[in-house]
């Protein structure tokens, strides 16, 4: 699954300077300014007016205090339904939606000093045991809701007769990471026509330009506020961007964009210039089944509010990986125990773990997220049948 350059003892982060070629996928390079070492793919410090990383905490380059995150402004009223492909104007920054300040120079210095970006060699020994069982896709019939895990945060969701992709990443590599530990669970050639694509935010492991290039340019893309321009520059003609608590409907299926505890960044100069969040999918014309896709998120107060506004979630697709070291990632990536707690806050009946077992993004052993989420589910006294810990490539029907 990995070539000589991707052996565990040579795992390393790529550093691509602005104006050079980014990560290469099956359809060629994504040529946009790229990430710096030591950050999540597409997520590096941005030089602000004071010379320090934009929007973070700690000290600036001059040793003075960094400005804290601003409390979030009021988002639109719940349930506003927007028109497809509506062209909208947005503020220059969404930094006031941050739940917590971004890391500052002190945090980056500590990360560089500790070098805790990858698992120890023994933590990589579990790669051959990562669950990978690709199978045929279920049929997408009205009244049927099915999910197939393609890996990381990429799902094929069959709902209301539609085929929907979430954060599709079919590339073997993304910027700043070694090659995939496991192949994609669904061959691109086996996908039926895609009716819609949901994007949670613009980090490279969730917004993959080479994968999107494979889609017809009239494919409906549903994206966070501020991201439509990026998509339209790549030729997509049906792009709908939403603020938190807004929705769009497509052929009887409703897609609500909801908050997350995360952030956005893709280049050196665009910190928080687009929004981030998750999605609630509801089969309004059929069964009323409701699926929550969390995207990428830390743990916090939003889960209870999402559950209050969207009661009766049948399945929560929840991230459980990329959480170590905890001091560095706790604000933006839930760990397995927090994912179980978030599922309970949502009032969701079932949970399917994701965001683990695909890319090496952090320092925990590669199999640890699965073992910990199973243990946390059991400690919470929840029905084991409602934890859908699917292998990559496997499907489940609601």
Which letter does DSSP use for residue 388 in this model?
-
Give pLDDT tens digits for 190-221.
Answer: 999 999 999 999 999 999 999 999 999 999 99
CA atoms within a 13 Å half-sphere pointing along the CA-CB vector of 128: 3
Give pLDDT tens digits for 119-170.
Answer: 999 999 999 999 999 999 988 777 889 999 999 999 999 999 999 999 999 9
Q: Measure the CA–CA gap between 186 and 204, rounded to whole angstroms.
A: 20
Verdict on whether the full-model pTM lies above 0.85: no
Write out the two tokens for 136: 């045929």
Which letter does DSSP use for residue 180 in this model?
P
Q: What is the dihedral of CA 198, 133, 187, 339, to 10 degrees?
A: 20
Which letter does DSSP use for residue 328 in this model?
H
Is residue 27 within 8 A of residue 214, CB to CB? The reply is: yes
> What per-residue confidence (pLDDT) applies to 144?
81
- pLDDT string in tens for the chain (398-residue length): 333 333 333 333 233 222 233 333 333 334 344 343 334 444 433 333 323 323 333 333 223 333 333 344 445 566 899 999 999 999 999 999 999 999 999 999 999 899 888 899 999 999 999 999 999 998 877 788 999 999 999 999 999 999 999 999 999 999 888 899 999 999 999 999 999 999 999 999 999 999 999 999 999 999 999 999 999 999 999 999 999 999 999 999 999 999 999 999 999 999 999 999 999 999 998 889 999 999 999 999 999 999 999 999 999 999 999 999 999 999 999 999 999 999 999 999 999 999 999 999 999 999 999 999 999 999 999 999 999 999 999 999 99
User: Edge-to-edge, what's the strand order for the sheet holding 278-283?
Assistant: 80-81, 246-250, 253-258, 278-283, 290-293, 315-319, 350-354
CA angle, residues 386, 325, 109, in degrees to nearest 5 = 155
Q: Count H helices and E strands in the chain, helices first.
A: 7, 16
Write out the two tokens for 21: 């070629």
User: Edge-to-edge, what's the strand order for the sheet holding 395-397?
Assistant: 239-242, 221-224, 196-198, 162-166, 154-159, 146-151, 395-397
């Amino acid at each position: 699954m990995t070539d000589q350059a991707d052996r565990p003892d040579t795992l390393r982060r790529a550093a691509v300077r602005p104006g050079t070629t980014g990560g290469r996928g099956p359809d060629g390079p994504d040529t946009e300014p790229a990430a710096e070492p030591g950050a999540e793919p597409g997520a590096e410090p941005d030089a602000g007016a004071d010379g320090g990383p934009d929007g973070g905490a700690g000290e600036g380059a001059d040793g003075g205090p960094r400005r804290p995150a601003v409390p979030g402004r009021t988002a639109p009223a719940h349930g506003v339904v927007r028109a497809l492909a509506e062209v909208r104007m947005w503020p220059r920054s969404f930094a006031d939606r941050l739940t917590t300040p971004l890391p500052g120079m002190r945090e980056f210095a500590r990360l560089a000093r500790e070098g805790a970006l990858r698992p120890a060699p023994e933590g990589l020994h579990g790669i051959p045991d990562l669950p990978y069982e690709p199978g045929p896709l279920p049929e997408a019939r009205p009244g049927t809701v099915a999910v197939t895990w393609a890996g990381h945060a990429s799902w094929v969701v069959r709902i209301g007769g539609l085929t929907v992709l979430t954060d599709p990443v079919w590339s073997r590599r993304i910027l700043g990471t070694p090659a995939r530990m496991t192949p994609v669970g669904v061959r691109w050639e086996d996908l039926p026509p895609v009716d819609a694509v949901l994007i949670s935010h613009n980090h490279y492991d969730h917004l993959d330009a080479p994968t999107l290039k494979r889609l017809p340019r009239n494919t409906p893309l549903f994206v966070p506020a501020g991201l439509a321009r990026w998509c339209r520059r790549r030729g997509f003609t049906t792009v709908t961007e939403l603020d938190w608590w807004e929705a769009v409907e497509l052929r009887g299926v409703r897609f609500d964009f909801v908050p997350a505890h995360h952030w956005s960044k893709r280049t050196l100069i665009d910190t928080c210039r687009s929004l981030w969040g998750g999605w609630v999918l509801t089969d309004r014309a059929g069964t009323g089944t409701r699926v929550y896709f969390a995207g990428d998120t830390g743990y916090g107060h939003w889960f209870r509010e999402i559950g209050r506004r969207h009661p009766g979630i049948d399945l929560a697709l929840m991230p459980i990986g990329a959480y170590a070291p905890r001091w560095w990632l706790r604000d933006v990536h839930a760990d397995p125990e927090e994912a179980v707690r978030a599922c309970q806050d949502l009032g969701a009946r079932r949970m399917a773990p994701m965001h683990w077992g695909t890319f090496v993004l952090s320092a925990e052993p590669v199999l640890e997220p699965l073992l910990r989420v199973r243990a946390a589910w059991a400690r919470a006294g929840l029905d084991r049948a409602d934890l859908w810990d699917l292998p990559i490539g496997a499907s489940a029907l609601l």
